[in-house]
Structure 1
Amino acid sequence: MAGGFRLAVTLLTVVPLRTGRVDRGTARAAMLLAPAVGLVTGGAAALAVTAGDALGLSGTVAAVLAVAATAALTRALHLDGLADLADGLGSGRPAGEALAIMKRSDIGPFGVVTLLLVLLLQVTALAAAPHPAAAALVAGVAGRLALPWACRAGVPAARPGGL
């Protein structure tokens, strides 16, 4: 489990931890522990929104700082993946070609529009939350619940060798 936690932290944040040998069991543990890493990312967002409030910033500005903190702490990996997914699905191409589009490093119009709308939604929702720090923490954990759900037995990998 310790190796799985180190792998989860390394995959989902900018924190570089030695992971050692990565095998199927370690990857499984990492996916199961992904929501715990959400405590780190959500905690950073909660700290940012709390600091913004303490500095007298508007709720919207504090929410922008919180969303930015999460993006910085995760290397914007979730945003990059979302843009890739939007470009691949928006292409209307067969699965193999859509996966090739998703692997490219550029971003297309579907990715740009999706990122813009999602970031606006995140900032607006956090700014409107009655308890934004708690909302940021819950969102950090809840967002990473998708990983163990998507990697469960019976869900086929998008490509051979994938999770």
Structure 2
Amino acid sequence: MLKSSPHDGLRFAFGTLTVLPVRVHRWDRGAARAGMLCAPAAGLVVGGCAAGLGLLLLLLGAGAPLAAVASVAVPAALTRGLHLDGLADTADGLGSGKPAEDALRIMKQSDIGPFGVLTLVLVLLAQAAVLAQLYADSWARGAVAAVASAVAARLALALAARTGVPAARPEGRGAAVAGVVPKAAAFGLAAGVVAAAGAAGA
């Protein structure tokens, strides 16, 4: 595996996980490994933007529900709904009750079925409701929650890309990052993120 610098990893993470104008120069396994390890950093920026918009609206006199909806909308905008599309596909595939091959075929389709729509609606409502309550209790709590959730969501990518976890489809996009992160690095990163989130919450 080719060695990659943190710069390569940041480019890979931001270039593939956000709409920010970052060009990815390397697509090899080494760059993918570094990119997945840098994925929480992309989440930190996305979450920071989400919290920033929510706090700005609160400062301008908006209520906690509107600030929460804005904080939920920012990650969707900054990622072109990548995580929401994946969630809907997963819900459609698992909700179909079909064998693995048929479920993967359903997940690959571009349209969204009833399970996907229902899951998206409920998840987005739940996210907005939780953030609204936190913003209403404390602006700082809402902001920390917006950042921590975005970082945790990208941490899940590093954990899913650890060695021993195969790609669902060899020809799929996930195959480019499947198994690139050593287990020790994945769990070490997870421990660091959890510690940082705990410190921020405290």
TM-score by length of 2: 0.78
Structure 1 CA distance for aligned equivalents of residues 17 and 26 of structure 2: 18
Corresponding residue to 1:145 among 155, 158, 178:
155
The residue number in structure 1 matching 2:183 is none
Structure 1 CA distance for aligned equivalents of residues 170 and 9 of structure 2: 21
SS at match of 1:20: coil
**In the TM superposition, what are the counterparts of 1:114-133 in structure 2 within 5 Å?**
114-129=119-134, 130=138, 131-133=141-143
Size of the alignment, in residue pairs?
163
The residue number in structure 2 matching 1:104 is 109
Tell me: higher relative CO, structure 1 or 2? Use CA pairs within 8 A at least 6 residues apart: 1
CA deviation digits over 1:59-97, x for unaligned, max 9? Answer: 011100111111101111110110000001111111121
Alpha-carbon RMSD across the aligned residues, in angstroms, is 1.1
The residue number in structure 2 matching 1:92 is 97
Asked if 1:47 corresponds to 2:57, the answer is no
Corresponding residue to 1:154 among 164, 168, 173:
164
What amino acid maps onto 2:57 in structure 1? G
Shift, 1:3, TM fit: 1.5
Q: Which moved more, 1:71-80 or 1:1-10?
A: 1-10
SS at match of 2:62: coil
- Gaps spanning 5+ residues in structure 1: where? none
Shift, 1:117, TM fit: 0.2
What amino acid maps onto 2:144 in structure 1? A
Structure 2 CA distance for aligned equivalents of residues 36 and 18 of structure 1: 16
Following superposition, which runs of at least 4 residues in structure 1 exceed 2 angstroms of deviation? none
SS at match of 1:156: coil
SS at match of 2:38: helix
User: Could you tell me the percent identity over the aligned residues?
Assistant: 59
SS at match of 2:85: helix
Structure of larger gyration radius: 2
SS at match of 1:124: helix
SS at match of 1:92: coil
What amino acid maps onto 2:143 in structure 1? A
SS at match of 1:145: helix
The residue number in structure 2 matching 1:74 is 79
Shift, 1:21, TM fit: 2.6
Shift, 1:155, TM fit: 1.2
- Gaps spanning 5+ residues in structure 2: where? 1-5, 179-202
TM-score by length of 1: 0.96
